Structures are given as C-alpha cells and as structure tokens.
Structure 1
C-alpha cells in the first residue's frame, strides 16, 4: 500500500511540474493543485500508515503500549489542505482578473511590455 502511494505521489509531482511548465495560466493552476495534492500524500506517507487505536493514554499508564495512529501528520495534512485551498482560490481570482485585462492566458503574450498603437 505504501509503495502504491509513493508511486502516486511521484506521479502527482511529475504531472504537476509538467503542467506548471506549460504556457497557459490555467495549466499553471492545475499543476499547482497537483503538486499540493502530492505534498499531502507525502506528508501522509511520512506519518507511516498503521491501523491502530487512537492515541489516548489510560490513566494508569505512562506510555503507549499498543500500536497507535499518529495524529500529527493528519493535523498537518488538514492544515495543508486549508492553506492550499486559500492559495488556489487566490490564484484562480488572479488569473481571472489577468485574463479580463489582457484578454489571453498565454504567459508569453502577457510577458511583453510593448503597447501596440
């Protein structure tokens, strides 16, 4: 299972990087979304996938005796999801506004500063 998720993380990173290197702003945003999903999977994999009990220590014990699910990677992923959603929303609005002004989503055409008379 971990091997499959590691392969999927690599595919998401590769596809996201490929999309970000295209000239279209829409493809840039799709690549950004793919890379953020790949990062979430990477954090999930670093937390080690275990089927365990919730990390609650009984009153009589001082340390965990059984296998438990680590809550830190899950909290990091939730935080990353919220941050990436805000970044994606900002990027979509920014691209929409740039498209309204320039009338194109091609980065090469947006890069020129020459004004045609």
Structure 2
C-alpha cells in the first residue's frame, strides 16, 4: 500500500500556521488560527484512519473492507466544536469592535505587574547598559562633529587660498594682457612713425634730387655760350 505524503505535509502546514496565528494579539487572526488548526487536526485524524473503504454497516459490507468509523466520528465532533468556537470568537470580535474600535487584546493590569516584577532586575541592568551605550554614542558623535568641523575649516581655508591664488592669477593675467596691449600699441605707433620718417626721407630725397637737377640745369645754361645774354 502506497501512502501519499501530501496530506500529511498539508496538515503540518495548517497546524503550524494556526499555532502561529494563535500567538497573535488580534482576535481576527486568533479566529483564523483556530480554523486552520482545527482543519489541520481533522485532516490528520482522517489520514490516520487508514485508506478509504466501504460503509461500516453490518450485513452490507464485509468486515475486512469496512472503513474505520472512529476517525469519522471524531472529525464530525471536531467540526461541531470548531463551529461553536468560531461563532463564539466572531461574537467576541464584534463586541470588541463595538467597545474599543479594534480587535487588539489589551494587557491585563495584574499581568503587567507580574511582568514588571519579573523583569525589574533585568530592566535595571539593561537601562544601565543602554545608558552607557548612549553616552559612548554621544562621545563618538561629538568627536565626529569636531572632526567634521575641523575638516570644514580646513576646506574653507584651502578654498580661500585657492580663491586668493586664482584672483592673483587673474590680476597677473590682466596685467600681462594690458602690457601686451600696450606693447602692441607702442609697436603700432613705432611702425607708423617709421613709415612717416621713410615717407619724409623719400620726399626729402626727391626734393633734393629735383633741386640738384634744377641747379645742374642752371649751371648748364650758364656755361652754354649760345644761351648767354638770354637772362
């Protein structure tokens, strides 16, 4: 006979999910957990009853082929109980919603006192430990802030130095540009003056040549006997 493991795995999953939801503080989740837990247990009981057989009725089915009626009876009883618990939890959820506007289960005052007495020593130790951790964090944060402030000041100083260097470079560049412009203007004026001097020299040479030619012509006329007395 081959037994399938899928129903057993499904039963385990339903039971695990139901127990997990039963540990919640919400009544709705508690209700869902009860339903899942009941269905998981019912499935496990049915699977534990063995394979399916004929109806367990004497005179109708053989004894060796009859199904076990005990798991079926237990499952029917469990279904009735689960239905009653579900109805009760639904009423509780409805009433809680009307009174408090939610389905969260509140802590009881006595439960709180017991828990506080049990954890008073642990709380004192944890408070001291947390206080020390907080102080250490404060010291570390202050040291980090001091380091960041020092880094900021150093960065500002470097930025100021870079700005001053940049301004000096810009002023030096402007001075170089102005000096180059003045040099160009001076060179242009010098070229203009040289051009004018050359023109004046050429003009003076031309005038001198013209005067020399005129003087030579006069001398030539004065030495020519044919031209004597014409003046």
Instruction: Give 1:70-85 correspondences, 5 Å limit.
Output: 70-85=68-83
In structure 1, the gaps of 5 or more residues are none
Question: Counterparts of 1:81 and 1:58 in 2: how far apart (Å)?
Answer: 29
| TM-score (normalizing by structure 2) | 0.42
Deviates more, 1:87-96 or 1:1-10: 1-10
Match of 2:84 among 49, 61, 86: 86
2:27 and 2:89 in contact (8 A); partners too: no
Asked which structure has the greater RCO (Cα within 8 Å, sep 6+), the reply is 1
Gaps of 5+ in 2: 110-231
Match of 2:44 among 42, 45, 59: 42
TM-score, normalized by length of structure 1? 0.79
RMSD: 2.0
Larger helix percent:
2
The 8 Å contact of residues 17 and 35 in structure 1, kept in 2 or not, is answered as: yes
Partner deviation per Cα, 1:66-94 (whole Å, 9 max, x = no partner): 32211221111111101110111011101
Q: Is this contact kept in 2: 1:2–1:49, CA < 8 A?
A: no
In structure 1, distance between residues paired with 2:22 and 2:101: 20
Within 2, Cα distance between the matches of 1:56 and 1:27?
A: 42
Where does residue 58 of structure 1 map in the other structure?
A: 59
Kept in 1: contact 2:27–2:103 (CA 8 A): yes
* 1:106 alignment counterpart: 104
- In 2, Cα distance between equivalents of 1:6 and 1:41: 8
* Partners of 1:112 and 1:71 in 2: CA distance: 45
Q: In structure 2, do the counterparts of structure 1 residues 68 and 112 end up closer, same or farther at CA, with 3 Å as the change threshold?
A: closer
What is aligned with 1:28? 30
Q: Is the 8 A contact 1:2 1:45 kept in 2?
A: no
How many pairs are equivalent? 106
Conservation of the 8 A alpha-carbon contact between 1:15 and 1:34: yes
- Give, in whole Å, the separation in 1 of the partners of 2:40 and 2:90: 20
